[in-house]
Structure 1
Amino acid sequence: MEFDLGWILLGLPLAFVLGWLASRFDLRQLRAENRRAPKAYFKGLNFLLNEQQDQAIDAFIEAVQNDPDTCELHFALGNLFRRRGEYDRAVRVHEHLLSRGDLEHSDRERAQHALALDFLKAGLLDRAEDALHRLEGTALEAQARLALLAIYERSRDWPRAAGIARKMHGADQGDFSTRQAHYLCEQALALTDLPAAQALLEQAIHAAPEAARARIELARLQRLMGQPDALLATLKTLAAHNPAALPLAAPLMVEAASATGRVAEVQELLQAHYAQAPSLDVLESIVLLETADEATRATARQRYVQHLDKERSLVATAKWLATEKLEHEEFHPQIERALEHAVKPLLRYRCAACGFEARRHFWQCPGCQTWDSYPARRVEEL
């Protein structure tokens, strides 16, 4: 059977035309897909800028479906889910990223960190801890350690928190000496063995000599152990190293002065501090010491009036009026109750980080969990 070359001559142009049409079709489809993907991406970005998170999520999902290999869209989508509180969906997005074999090393670390944050926000602390430990030795190690520190503080696991703080301090990731002192204080407060607690507090003082808490906690412990002389010595050291914290320790100094008989010495120290930085707590302690002495009892109340020359204080005014005789003495109880009600909010402490107010001083804010954010002065004095 003879082969007809005419078929070849006829087929070549036909094959060329069909190949050209196929390439044009693929090119059009690729262009259409590329147009759809950026359009969905920018649409999502616009919704996000307008704080329309539901619409932004829908747009990003559409963009991810058009281009499943785009890592940045997955990260954006996962972060949006986390911000909305849809932690299970955020976990699925980041786990999908980690399951990809073609993911670059840096993107894998980002996905691991994002997954840990998902677990942390969802309250799954054990899974978050495991995910964060996998970032040890990576570029995100410092961020992972900070998150681990938050986990251990939240669960009040002070020994492990201290271990992370030591690592970060040793790696020059910040000064964590004061934080380590707080952790040692927390461990000491949990002990019933007083000598062991004292040893931990002395370690805390050594870790952060300028921090106030360890010395104040040690003074309270020495009061429990019946050591007034040691208590007074500790508080005198506090006044030398951190005079701003003395208002917190002033009531303890009054107790130590009475127990040791060294009233004049304590009184002189408190008056010297008050002259430098007038404080309601220090003023109250001075008045208590002077009231206990008959020679100075009559003039002790005038301290409140003298304080008004330094600072306008409703608290000092109320304390002075409480001991004064008024012209219409029958109205004195009502006036005293009204003033007590008015000054109560002024006697609180306020967190400098979040504004959370409390009747007692905290070393770690119950609201924002920030350490050392409460000044040693009352709201009226700020």
Structure 2
Amino acid sequence: MEFDLSWILLGFPLAFVLGWLASRFDARQMRAESRSAPKAYFKGLNFLLNEQQDKAIDAFIEAVQNDPDTSELHFALGNLFRRRGEYNRAVRVHEHLLSRGDLSRPDRDRAQHALALDFLKAGLLDRAEDALRRLEGTSFEAEARLALLAIYERSRDWKQASDIAHRMQTARQGDFSVRLAHYLCEGADVLAATGKLEEAVAQYQQALVLAPSAGRPQVDLARLQHRLGHSEQAWSTLQGMAEKSPGALPLAAALLPELAQVLGDAQIRPWLEAQYERLPSLDLLQALVALDAAHPGAPGRERYVAHLDKEPSLVAATRWLADEPFAQEQHHPALQRALEHASKPLTRYRCAACGFEARQHFWHCPGCQSWDSYPARRVEEL
């Protein structure tokens, strides 16, 4: 059988035409896909700028489907899910990014940080801790350490918090001496509550060495020294506090009448009067009135009236009126109750960071977790 070369001559042009058509089809498809991805991206961006997050997410999902290798779209999508509180979907997006073998090192670190934020926002602190620890040695190291510090403070793991704060201080990422002093005080509070009073004193003193101008170690140390019967030491601690951190003295004012009963009134009263003249406050005023109660010739309740010349105070007026005789005494109890009801909110403490109010003073705000955000003065005095 003879082979006909004419078929070969006819086949070459046919193959060329088919190949050309196939390449044209692929090129058109690629151009269509490349046009659709930016179009979906810009559509999503437009929705995002107009605060239409649902439509923006739909547009970004469409763009990711058209071009699954676009990491920036994944990051945008994951951040949108996190902002909406859809933490499971955000975690899936960022875990998908981390599973990709072609992801660059900076993008991998970024995805790891985003995943840690997902866990943190979702309240999964153990998983967030693990994700944050993997960021050591990356460009997100400082942010990760701050987040870890917040986790340990929230869980009251003061040892771990101290370790992180020491590392950040060593790396010159800020001055954490006051915060480290707070951690020592927290540990000392636990020791004192379990009866280990001498160990607690040593820890307060260590905190005072670390942050000499911090108010908390001095206030807590003076209270514990007096509790142990070391009233002279407590008095010395308060005198030092008046020099180094006078603003915190009102927090220890209630201790002064107790010290006066042990050490005598002669040295404490003049000193307290001088501190009150230097920085008038309701707590120092109340301590002076309490000292006067044991001395008939002392000003006593008249100090409330004198305080009104310095500062208008409903609290001071209410306390003065409590024992003041009225012309119509039958109305006195009702009037006193009304005044006390009105003045009671003014005796609270208020966080300067978040505005959270409480009847007791906090060194660590239970609302916003800020340290030293509660002034030592009452709401009325702010």
- Specify the TM-score bucket, using the shorter chain as the normaliser: over 0.9
Shift of 1:66: 0.9
What is the correspondence of 1:359-370 to structure 2 with a 5 Å cutoff? Answer: 359-370=359-370
Offset from partner CA, 1:88-122 (integer Å, 9 cap, x none): 21111111111111110011111111111222222
What is the correspondence of 1:160-199 to structure 2 with a 5 Å cutoff? Answer: 160-191=160-191, 192=194, 193-199=196-202
Shift of 1:351: 0.5
Which of 271, 282, 294 is equivalent to 2:296? 294
1:197 partner letter: A
The answer to which of 166-175 and 308-317 deviates more is 308-317
Per the alignment, residue 260 of structure 1 pairs with 263
Shift of 1:24: 2.6
Per the alignment, residue 232 of structure 2 pairs with 229
1:280 partner letter: L
Shift of 1:216: 0.9
Per the alignment, residue 105 of structure 2 pairs with 105
Which of 196, 205, 218 is equivalent to 2:208? 205
Provide the C-alpha distance between the structure 1 equivalents of 2:211 and 2:337, rounded to a whole number of angstroms.
44
1:251 partner letter: A
Shift of 1:11: 4.7
Per the alignment, residue 279 of structure 1 pairs with 281
Provide the C-alpha distance between the structure 2 equivalents of 1:300 and 1:180, rounded to a whole number of angstroms.
41
Provide the C-alpha distance between the structure 2 equivalents of 1:85 and 1:353, rounded to a whole number of angstroms.
25
Provide the C-alpha distance between the structure 2 equivalents of 1:136 and 1:6, rounded to a whole number of angstroms.
69
Per the alignment, residue 305 of structure 2 pairs with 305
Is 1:55 the counterpart of 2:58 in the alignment? no
Per the alignment, residue 371 of structure 1 pairs with 371
What is the correspondence of 1:1-382 to structure 2 with a 5 Å cutoff? Answer: 1=2, 4=5, 7-8=8-9, 10-191=10-191, 192=194, 193-261=196-264, 263-296=265-298, 299-382=299-382
- Number of paired residues? 378
After the TM superposition, which parts of structure 1 deviate over 3 Å for at least 4 consecutive aligned residues? 1-7, 10-20
Provide the C-alpha distance between the structure 2 equivalents of 1:290 and 1:31, rounded to a whole number of angstroms.
91
Structure 1: which 5+ runs fail to align?
A: none
Structure 2: which 5+ runs fail to align?
A: none
1:129 partner letter: E
Offset from partner CA, 1:297-338 (integer Å, 9 cap, x none): xx2222212211221111111111112111111111111110
Provide the C-alpha distance between the structure 2 equivalents of 1:74 and 1:266, rounded to a whole number of angstroms.
67
Describe the SS at the equivalent of 1:190: helix
1:165 partner letter: A
Offset from partner CA, 1:274-311 (integer Å, 9 cap, x none): 22222111111112112321221xx2222212211221
2:296 partner letter: E
2:140 partner letter: L
The answer to which of 238-247 and 47-56 deviates more is 47-56
Provide the C-alpha distance between the structure 2 equivalents of 1:44 and 1:310, rounded to a whole number of angstroms.
61
TM-score by length of 1: 0.94
1:69 partner letter: D
Describe the SS at the equivalent of 1:295: coil
Provide the C-alpha distance between the structure 2 equivalents of 1:322 and 1:277, rounded to a whole number of angstroms.
25
Shift of 1:28: 1.9
Shift of 1:51: 2.8
Describe the SS at the equivalent of 1:41: helix
Offset from partner CA, 1:133-159 (integer Å, 9 cap, x none): 111111111111111111111111111
Provide the C-alpha distance between the structure 2 equivalents of 1:257 and 1:5, rounded to a whole number of angstroms.
123
Provide the C-alpha distance between the structure 1 equivalents of 2:227 and 2:59, rounded to a whole number of angstroms.
64
Percent identity of equivalent pairs: 67
Shift of 1:36: 1.6
Shift of 1:42: 2.0
Shift of 1:184: 0.6
Shift of 1:33: 1.2
Offset from partner CA, 1:175-194 (integer Å, 9 cap, x none): 11111011111111111211
Describe the SS at the equivalent of 2:253: helix
Shift of 1:14: 4.1
TM-score by length of 2: 0.94
